[in-house]
């Protein structure tokens, strides 16, 4: 067929209707394909977490958990044993001591992994970033949280206060900061998982910040540069050694959103802020209640 | 339905292989290959046209041959191959001329496939671990190849908006590994000690070269419009990649890395471009499920691609290059294609 005819035929042929480059909705995968050969050597998962590394870390951390902080849980049974859940807690200590305690406690008691969402600062830092990732640290990106919670049904730990919580000085202890912009509520709604709040006491006293040096923080590119009581008492060793404050953790009743559908493109901002504030209030009240009953910082 | 296909970058690894695969397809009537360099592999019926790198003769070719399909595989994604200027000519100006020709009045083009790269997502600590096609990169592009590819995608987007009747597929490939392809990463993995950045062990994602060809042919065949990530399942730490290949790693300082990579480049061992160093620090993952949902079946996972590369490497170490090198000879090829004494498939069947 000469090219000319072909061109005419093309021009009269029905045109393929295509949306430009806007992602089209495609049908879900109809069949599960055969699993491919996957010659892996290590056990580092797609988030960078290694169960073997966690095993070692848990063994190293256990004496600290049991003898030093003498961690005591209340209401651990409220944490779901299966399905995704977003665990949130108040955040404290210059180098936060609450995150490892919560992750260790849940992993040993419930036997399921916990992924801790944190600022991208950790991923960017050499050595620390790799250790952090191998131990279950994941960059706090909404897509990451959604995939973990909705698609992989994992437990995810996040501190909504972020570095505002750990960066507060000792005179402001146990006073919760703003819970970000309520992003954790939005993620839980989108993923259709419950939020499990935890109130933690003890972490504030394990490494209290006396004052901060903003110039140094800026020069080093870190969120804050603290001068802690530990540093004054122990010198440079104080950057790594916690005071043996007694840790108490209280798991509060999970918050669910039965009236909200998951996978919506947008959620009501006012609803998100209301829920976020309500959860913050509950944790704050529980903290006051726990402090009311605490006789000693060191012995509980 | 017989198709008339124009392939840009016939002399590149991808262009040549796509042409080879299309030659086996009886539905493809005409294959025209455009490049500045000669084809690297034996082709039976593809017609090679030499052009300058920014395709100024393209509109004439498109008009004269009435092609209905364009496969744009000429984009340069490896910035170590050429100067920034040359890359700009090929990527940005070449794509501009290509789409100008394809959207000219009376154009017969109805199907365009563009081979882009996951480099457009960048690599930074702020990234999600799995980029989706509609995801935005987290930081500004700071390497020239990323900037040039983003400009290219801008032209692609404009073309798609202006020509809604054209089925346009844009594929973004993650790092390619396999038995034959040579990339800076494959060169790095062939060194006695594999370079890494001290303190970082990022997750890498790979796609096997056969899956690259497979996906290009898949979108050509199925005519699925839109943007698609192409990458193998799973992400593996760089240290594990080296382990699968059977190599140890050598750390380079995280600060002042240029001082460490400079000698490697000057010795001609491996050239680690800035976008590759960012990758060696932060890694990158792309979500490949959109193409899967469109119906494409991958043949290899990320680790599988690394393993295939490792196997080819072991064989090459023992026996050297076992495939005889092909050299394009213009008069011979022309004789084969046009001489009446050559019996073609069609004549044989008769």
pLDDT tens for A224-257 read 899 999 999 998 888 889 999 999 999 999 999 9
Give chain A's radius of gyration (CA, Å).
24
Q: In the 3-class helix/strand/coil scheme, how is A239-253 assigned residue by residue?
A: HCCCCCCCCEEEECC
Residue pairs spanning A and B at CB distance below 8 A: 157
Q: What is the pLDDT of residue A7?
A: 43
pLDDT in tens, A89-126: 999 888 889 999 999 999 999 999 999 999 888 888 88
Q: What is the pLDDT of residue B185?
A: 92
- Rounded mean pLDDT, A37-48: 88
Least confident of A32-46, A274-288, B217-231, B302-316: A32-46
Q: What is the distance in angstroms between the Cα of B203 and the nearest Cα belonging to chain A?
A: 7
- Model confidence at A19: pLDDT above 80: no
Q: With CB atoms and an 8 Å threshold, state whether B301 touches A38.
A: yes
Question: Residues of chain B whose pLDDT is less than 70?
Answer: 1, 322-324, 345-350
Task: Give the residue carrying structure tokens 């804050």.
Answer: A224
Q: Is A128 helix (H, G, I), strand (E, B) or coil?
A: helix
Nearest to B15 by CA among B35, B36, B45, B44: B35
Q: With CB atoms and an 8 Å threshold, state whether B106 touches A6.
A: no
Residue B290, both tokens: 């959109």
Q: What is the pLDDT of residue A6?
A: 45
Q: With CB atoms and an 8 Å threshold, state whether B166 touches A18.
A: yes
Question: Which residue on chain B is closest to A6 by alpha carbon?
Answer: B66
Residues 214-253 of B with CB under 8 A from A: 223, 225-227, 233-237, 239-240, 243-244
- Looking at the DSSP bridge assignments, the partners of residue B172 are B116, B229
> In whole angstroms, what is the distance from residue A256 CA to residue A270 CA?
17
**Which residues in B lie closer than 8 A to residue A22 (C-beta atoms)?**
226
Cβ-contact B38, B15 below 8 angstroms: no
Q: What is the distance in angstroms between the Cα of A228 and the nearest Cα belonging to chain B?
A: 27
> In whole angstroms, what is the distance from residue A99 CA to residue B134 CA?
33
Sign of CA dihedral A139, A141, A147, A153: positive
- Model confidence at A15: pLDDT above 50: no
Cβ-contact A183, A142 below 8 angstroms: yes
Q: Inform me whether the C-beta atom of residue B304 falls under 8 Å from chain A C-beta atoms.
A: yes
Residue A205, both tokens: 């006293």
pLDDT in tens, B25-55: 888 999 999 998 888 888 888 999 888 877 7
Cβ-contact A157, A100 below 8 angstroms: no
> In whole angstroms, what is the distance from residue B199 CA to residue A8 CA?
62
Q: What is the pLDDT of residue B255?
A: 78
Q: With CB atoms and an 8 Å threshold, state whether A39 touches B254.
A: no
Q: What is the pLDDT of residue A29?
A: 56
Q: Inform me whether the C-beta atom of residue B150 falls under 8 Å from chain A C-beta atoms.
A: no
Fold assignment, A51-160+172-207+244-292 = Glycerol-3-phosphate (1)-acyltransferase (3.40.1130)
Q: What is the pLDDT of residue B329?
A: 82
**Which residues in B lie closer than 8 A to residue A23 (C-beta atoms)?**
133-134, 226-227, 290
Strands (E) located in A202-267: 209-212, 226-228, 248-251
Of B68, B168, B237, the CB nearest to A21: B168
Domain chopping of chain A, boundaries: 51-160+172-207+244-292
DSSP string, B143-209: SHHHHHHHHHHHHHHHHHHH-TTSEEEEEEE-EEESSS---HHHHHHHSSEEEEETT---EE-EEEH
The DSSP bridge pattern shows strands A209-212 and A114-118 to be unpaired
pLDDT in tens, B283-307: 999 999 999 999 999 999 999 999 9
Share of chain B above pLDDT 90, in %: 56
CB under 8 Å to A125, separation ≥6 — which residues? Answer: B199
**Which residues in A lie closer than 8 A to residue B167 (C-beta atoms)?**
16, 18
A291 — pLDDT class (breaks 50, 70, 90): very high
Q: What is the pLDDT of residue A21?
A: 53
Q: Which of B125, B214, B224, B286 to mutate to test the interface with A (most CBs of A within 10 A)?
A: B125
Q: Inform me whether the C-beta atom of residue A27 falls under 8 Å from chain B C-beta atoms.
A: yes
Q: Which of A126, A131, A220 to mutate to test the interface with B (most CBs of B within 10 A)?
A: A126
Q: Inform me whether the C-beta atom of residue B110 falls under 8 Å from chain A C-beta atoms.
A: yes
Residues 147-176 of A with CB under 8 A from B: 147
As a whole number of Å, the end-to-end CA separation of chain A is 91
Q: Inform me whether the C-beta atom of residue B27 falls under 8 Å from chain A C-beta atoms.
A: no
Q: What is the pLDDT of residue A22?
A: 47
Cβ-contact A92, A102 below 8 angstroms: no
> In whole angstroms, what is the distance from residue A218 CA to residue A216 CA?
5
> In whole angstroms, what is the distance from residue B330 CA to residue B342 CA?
16
Q: What is the distance in angstroms between the Cα of A135 and the nearest Cα belonging to chain B?
A: 13
Q: With CB atoms and an 8 Å threshold, state whether B237 touches A44.
A: yes
Q: Is B297 helix (H, G, I), strand (E, B) or coil?
A: coil
The H or E element that residue B31 is part of is strand B28-35
Q: What is the distance in angstroms between the Cα of A282 and the nearest Cα belonging to chain B?
A: 31
């Amino acid at each position: 067929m000469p090219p000319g005819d072909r061109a005419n035929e093309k021009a009269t042929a029905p045109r393929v209707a295509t949306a430009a480059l806007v992602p089209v909705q495609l049908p879900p995968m109809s069949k599960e394909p055969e699993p491919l050969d996957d010659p892996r050597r290590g056990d580092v998962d797609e988030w960078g977490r290694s169960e073997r590394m966690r095993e070692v870390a848990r063994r190293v951390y256990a004496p600290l958990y049991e003898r030093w902080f003498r961690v005591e849980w209340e209401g651990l049974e409220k944490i779901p044993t299966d399905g995704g859940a977003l665990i949130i807690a108040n955040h404290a200590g210059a180098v936060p001591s609450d995150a490892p305690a919560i992750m260790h406690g849940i992993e040993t008691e419930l036997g399921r992994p916990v992924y801790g969402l944190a600022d991208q600062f950790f991923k960017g830092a050499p050595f620390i970033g790799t250790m952090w990732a191998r131990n279950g640290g994941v960059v706090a990106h909404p897509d990451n949280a959604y995939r973990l919670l909705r698609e992989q049904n994992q437990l995810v730990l996040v501190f909504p206060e972020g570095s505002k919580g750990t960066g507060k000085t000792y005179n402001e202890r146990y006073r919760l900061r703003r819970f970000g912009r309520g992003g954790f509520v939005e993620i839980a709604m989108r993923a259709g998982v419950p939020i499990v709040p935890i109130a933690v006491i003890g972490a504030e006293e394990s490494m209290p910040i006396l004052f901060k040096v903003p110039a140094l923080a800026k020069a080093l590119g870190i969120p804050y540069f603290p001068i802690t009581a530990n540093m004054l008492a122990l010198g440079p060793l104080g950057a790594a050694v916690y005071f043996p404050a007694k840790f108490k953790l209280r798991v509060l009743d999970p918050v669910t959103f039965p009236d909200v559908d998951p996978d919506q493109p947008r959620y009501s901002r006012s609803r998100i802020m209301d829920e976020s504030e309500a959860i913050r209030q509950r944790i704050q009240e529980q903290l006051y209640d726990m402090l009311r009953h605490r006789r000693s910082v060191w012995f509980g | 339905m017989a198709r008339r296909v124009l392939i840009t970058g016939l002399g590149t690894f991808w262009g040549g292989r796509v042409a080879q695969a299309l030659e086996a397809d009886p539905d493809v009537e005409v294959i025209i290959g455009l490049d500045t360099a000669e084809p690297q592999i034996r082709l039976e019926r593809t017609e090679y046209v030499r052009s300058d790198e920014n395709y100024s003769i393209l509109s004439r070719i498109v008009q004269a041959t009435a092609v209905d399909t364009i496969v744009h595989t000429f984009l340069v994604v490896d910035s170590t191959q050429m100067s920034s200027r040359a890359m700009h000519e090929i990527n940005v100006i070449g794509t501009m001329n290509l789409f100008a020709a394809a959207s000219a009045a009376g154009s017969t083009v109805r199907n365009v496939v563009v081979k882009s790269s996951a480099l457009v997502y960048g690599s930074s600590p702020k990234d999600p671990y799995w980029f989706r096609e509609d995801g935005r990169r987290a930081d500004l592009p700071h390497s020239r190849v990323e900037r040039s590819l983003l400009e290219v995608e801008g032209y692609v987007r404009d073309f798609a908006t202006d020509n809604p009747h054209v089925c346009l597929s844009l594929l973004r490939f993650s790092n390619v590994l396999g038995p034959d392809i040579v990339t800076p990463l494959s060169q790095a993995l062939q060194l006695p000690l594999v370079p890494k950045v001290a303190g970082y062990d990022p997750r890498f994602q790979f796609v096997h070269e056969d899956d690259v060809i497979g996906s290009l042919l898949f979108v050509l065949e199925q005519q699925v419009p839109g943007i698609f990530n192409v990458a193998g399942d799973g992400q593996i730490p760089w240290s594990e990649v080296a382990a699968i290949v059977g190599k140890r790693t050598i750390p380079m300082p995280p600060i002042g890395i240029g001082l460490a990579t400079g000698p490697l480049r000057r010795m001609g061992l491996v050239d680690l471009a800035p976008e590759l160093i960012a990758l060696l620090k932060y890694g990158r993952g792309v979500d490949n499920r959109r193409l899967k949902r469109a119906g494409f079946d991958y043949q290899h996972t990320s680790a599988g691609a690394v393993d295939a590369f490792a196997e080819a490497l072991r064989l090459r170490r023992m026996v050297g290059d076992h495939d005889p090198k092909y050299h394009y000879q213009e008069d011979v090829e022309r004789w084969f294609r046009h001489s009446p004494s050559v019996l073609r498939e069609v004549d044989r069947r008769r």
